Amino acid sequence: MIYRIPKQLSDIRRFFLEPHTPKQRQYEALRAYFVEGLPAQDVVKSFGYSVSAFHVLCHHFRRDSDPVFFVTPRRGPRSQPKKSAARDLIVQLRKRNYSVYEISETLKEQKRPLSPTAVREVLKAEGFAALPRRLDEERPDRPRPTVELVVASGLYRLLAERMRGYEDAQARQIFRDLVAMPATITVTEKEVQVSFHRRSHLPIILASGMMEQPVAVPWWNGHKLRLTTYHGPAEPPTA
């Protein structure tokens, strides 16, 4: 939570006494006249109206059945067609012991994509509780993630936590923006150096604190991985 410095009382008073928008100025002037009982001459002087203009404002205000001075927040859509179209299938799949992630994958395969969060909201609205942790034999008969995919998913998540603005990004976006970047790779006797070329997402990597911080990779026989920036020609030849 961000705590801001409190405004001075004089600034707060000025917000009401010196309104910046026409609607607020009308509201404050009418309130001063009708509620606080200030004379019209004082009101027009304080809020910059002419006497005739203020009389016209009061005339319209007294005859307006629903004067509008404040912005009414827009409400979001009351119906969600994608959720409604997939609701029956979501319920059927949950009755077959599918998790929210498995339901989301099935919907994607059927060209009716819904995120796991949206699936969870539908199930909650239908009165379904979260599934208890299941054994492998209790799960639907579907291909399981391999060990490599599980490890890669964890590594992507750790990488995303270091990258500003990518904390909730999917692995595909992380790979596209931050991993599949042009780079020059140099292998020496002691390390593997990855030199990123200048691209739009490079500042995000620079701000992560991972650059110029060699990390020993166990399965590289002690070799280190160093991330750096490319200082050669603007467009180096590609392999």
Structure tokens at 211: 């650059």
Other beta carbons within 10 angstroms of residue 101's beta carbon come to: 12
Contact 197, 183 (CB under 8 A): yes
CA geometry: angle 183, 186, 190, nearest 5 deg: 135
**Percentage of residues of the chain with pLDDT beyond 70:** 80
pLDDT band of residue 235 (cuts 50, 70, 90) is very low
**What would the mean pLDDT of 132-154 be, rounded to a whole number?**
66
- Distance CA(237)–CA(239), nearest Å, equals 7
Please give the residue that has the higher pLDDT: either 90 or 138. 90
**What would the mean pLDDT of 101-108 be, rounded to a whole number?**
89
pLDDT given for residue 150 in this prediction: 66
**Distant-in-sequence contacts of 118-124, Cβ < 8 A, 24+ apart:** 118/82, 118/83, 119/90, 121/83, 122/83, 122/86, 122/87, 122/90, 122/91, 123/90, 123/91, 123/94
pLDDT given for residue 234 in this prediction: 46
Structure tokens at 72: 């009414």
Output DSSP code: residue 76.
Answer: P
Residue for token pair 């319209």? 60
pTM of the model: 0.34
Structure tokens at 24: 């607020």
pLDDT given for residue 39 in this prediction: 92
**What would the mean pLDDT of 96-117 be, rounded to a whole number?**
88
CA geometry: angle 199, 203, 206, nearest 5 deg: 115
Contact 215, 225 (CB under 8 A): yes
Return the domain boundaries, the chain.
9-63, 82-131, 146-180, 181-239
pLDDT given for residue 207 in this prediction: 79
- Distance CA(47)–CA(54), nearest Å, equals 10
**What would the mean pLDDT of 161-182 be, rounded to a whole number?**
77
Contact 89, 102 (CB under 8 A): no
